[in-house]
């Protein structure tokens, strides 16, 4: 079996899981904005957000990074000098930063210090989609 293709397949699977969480968590925040602190709904959303982040998103992000680095090592040093890969890495860093931002938002909901509106969360829900589209085009077309 080709180790590069195995790593690539596992990387794509991890990315799909990570993206699912990055798209779903802000949507949960939209509904969470509609609850009052201490209510049964609020507590349920706090639990859902925590589990999504801890058990799906965090492991998927970590696995995505590990497999991405392993793929990079398989490609060799010359690949790291290519524009498409450098741009992809910058965008993946941005996606990782967005992930961290969502984790911060989750903690604010839990502590009842969220000041953002449901419209804010609807808007930011598009960020990972835009990043994903650009990353996919970079990987497929590999512009110089």
pLDDT digits (tens, 9 = 90+) for 69-116: 999 999 888 888 999 999 999 999 999 999 999 999 999 999 999 999
Q: What is the span of the domain harbouring residue 135? A: 3-141
Phi, psi (deg, nearest 5) at residue 126: -85, -20
Domain count of the fold of the chain: 1
Tens digits of residue pLDDT in 117-128: 999 999 999 999
- pLDDT value at residue 46: 98
CA distance 125 to 128: 7
- pLDDT value at residue 18: 98
R_g of the chain, CA atoms, integer Å:
17
Q: Residue 1 above 80 pLDDT?
A: no
């Amino acid at each position: 079996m080709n180790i590069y293709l195995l790593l690539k397949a596992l990387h794509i699977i991890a990315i799909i899981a990570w993206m699912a969480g990055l798209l779903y968590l802000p949507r949960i925040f939209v509904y969470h904005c509609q609850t009052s602190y201490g209510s049964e709904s609020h507590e349920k959303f706090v639990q859902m957000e925590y589990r999504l982040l801890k058990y799906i998103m965090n492991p998927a992000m970590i696995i995505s990074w590990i497999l991405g680095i392993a793929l990079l090592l398989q490609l060799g040093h010359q690949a790291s000098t290519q524009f498409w890969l450098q741009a992809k890495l910058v965008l993946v860093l941005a996606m990782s930063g967005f992930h961290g931002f969502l984790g911060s938002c989750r903690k604010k909901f839990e502590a009842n210090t969220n000041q953002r509106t449901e419209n804010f969360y609807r808007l930011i829900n598009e960020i990972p989609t835009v990043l994903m589209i650009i990353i996919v085009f970079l990987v497929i077309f590999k512009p110089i």
